[in-house]
Amino acid sequence: MSLVEINFDGIVGPSHNYAGLSLGNLASTRNAGDVSRPRAAALQGLDKMRANLALGLAQGIFLPHPRPQRAWLAELGTTIEEAEPVIAANAMSASAMWAANAATVSPAPDTADGKCHLTVANLRTMPHRSLEWPSTYGQCALAFADTAHFQVHAPVPCAFGDEGAANHMRLAPAHAEPGIEIFVYGVSGGPFPARQHIEASKAVARLNRLDPARTLLVQQSEEAIAAGAFHNDVVAVANERVLFAHEQAFADKDGLIAACERQVPGFDYVEVAAADVPLDDAIRSYLFNAQLVTPPDGQPTLIVPTEARETPTVWRWIERHVAGNGPIRRVEVVDVRQSMANGGGPACLRLRVVADPTTVDPRFVVDEAKLDRIADAIGRYWPEQIHRGELQQPGLIAEIERARAALLDALDLSELA
């Protein structure tokens, strides 16, 4: 097999809105009630995928989930038309676009059976996210149906919160070689909930059949969570031999570095000091919620949102690092403002899967032509804008359901209807 890293991006759904549902996500709270632009949001996401293709990266997609989530509403004894506004907002959330929370992925070189394992996240901390997993599981089971190469697991019991790859990192000499897997959990976040439980992380590691000797459990710092780093990927990201993190990301930074130095040949730790970039600036700009990737030309590249360039402390640090001899050799800037305003940057939008692309259902792998088809459906059917107060209007509900059906038809994925 030819194993490469495939980035599966969530297509921003037609119900994308700013309802402010995510406690601890400062951007989500700050922009609650603003008018959203679903069509622009989805097209911004496609442009990011096109930029990845231009770098020579493999690119996949996940589809928007059914919205409103009528089955969930029925379990609550109501309908989208009759539900209380806050319940309706949960049922209309497009948060499944943040594919980093879809699952935790352990590639074949790390697992006992030589398969790529995916454990779907339960996302139980937030109501609007807890209803995502059945649709996520259905898509993963379809995209990775080749059981000779993949094993897809249902979520761990909801007694323990699991938020997927946003709290998981992998270090290895190269993507296709055996590595170590780092599970980052929270204990306390001051006024905000710690969303990733240590017992969930332990369970995922067992389900994914990882070697305990090459599995690290690392505590996220309380100050990072309290500052708005609701997931580890807001303050740290790893790629091959490189761990890129804020000084205040981890409760025991020195212990983590020592373990990585012992187990990862050529390990390189890149730290952003709080004196150079305060934690608040790092979180507001989503410097670390970036895609750290290795294109075919071998130049480690950091894909950051435009907000990173607009934050002086962050951009000064980036320019200084790239001008020096650091491991990050190139920086690409992408505009995902609609996602950023709801609390998710470039890294939130994608799930990393190391696999042979030929073993994935081809309907979930994209090229420029397929992105053109998706863009056409979005341009034709996605609402131009949505205000939170409109979420229960029959005309908008019908438009959202029609839009998703058109995309499924364009991609020959009627099984997901």
Q: What is the distance between the alpha carbons of residues 149 and 117, in angstroms, rounded to a whole number?
A: 9
Local structure of 115: helix, strand or coil: coil
pLDDT value, residue 29: 65
Axis crossing angle, helix 368-381 with helix 38-54, rounded to the nearest 10: 170
Of the candidates 6, 128, 5, 48, the residue with the CA atom closest to the CA atom of residue 374: 48
* pLDDT value of position 296: 96
The whole-number pLDDT of residue 111 equals 98
Q: Mapping DSSP to helix (H, G, I), strand (E, B) and coil, where does residue 260 land?
A: helix
Report the pLDDT averaged over residues 208-234.
Answer: 95
Instruction: Name the active-site residue from 65, 168, 197, 231.
Output: 231
How far is residue 101's CA from residue 197's CA, in Å, rounded to a whole number? 14
Catalytic residue from among 5, 132, 163, 181: 163
β-partners of residue 169 are: 182
pLDDT at 250: 97
Residue 27, pLDDT score: 57
Containing structural domain, residue 350: 4-416
User: For 124-166, how does the pLDDT look when each residue is reduced to its tens digit (9 = 90+)?
Assistant: 999 999 999 999 999 999 999 999 999 999 999 999 999 999 9
* Mean pLDDT value across the chain: 95
pLDDT band at 386 (very low <50, low <70, confident <90, very high): very high
Query: Is residue 106 packed enough to be buried (19+ CB in 10 Å), middle (13-18) or exposed (0-12)?
Result: buried
The pLDDT-based confidence of 302 (bands split at 50, 70, 90) is very high
DSSP letter at 111 equals B
Query: Considering the entire predicted model, what is its pTM?
Result: 0.95
- Three-state DSSP state, 223: helix
What is the reported pLDDT for 194? 85
pLDDT tens digits for range 32-48: 778 999 999 999 999 99
- Assess contact for 196 and 230: CB atoms under 8 A: no
Per DSSP bridges, beta strands 301-305 and 291-293 are antiparallel
How many domains is the chain built from? Answer: 1
Q: b vs e for 345-374, b when ≥16 Cβ sit within 10 Å of the residue's Cβ? A: bbbbbbbbbbbbbebbeebbbbeeebbeeb
pLDDT tier at 25 (50, 70, 90 boundaries)? Answer: low
Where residue 296 sits, what CATH number does that domain have?
Answer: 3.75.10.20
Residue whose pair of structure tokens reads 């071998």 in the numeric block: 298
Q: Is 348 a catalytic residue?
A: yes
Whether the per-residue pLDDT at 24 is higher than 70: the answer is no
Report CA-CA distances (Å) from 14 to 74, 114, 243, 343, 404. 22, 38, 35, 17, 7
The enclosing H or E element of 72 equals helix 70-75
| Pairing status of strand 301-305 against strand 236-239 | unpaired
What is the crossing angle of helices 368-381 and 394-410, to 10°?
160
List helix spans (H) across 100-227: 127-130, 133-143, 198-207, 222-226
Report helix, strand and coil shares of the chain as percent, to nearest 5.
Answer: 40, 20, 40
Rounded CA Rg of the chain: 20
pLDDT grade for 395, boundaries at 50, 70 and 90: very high
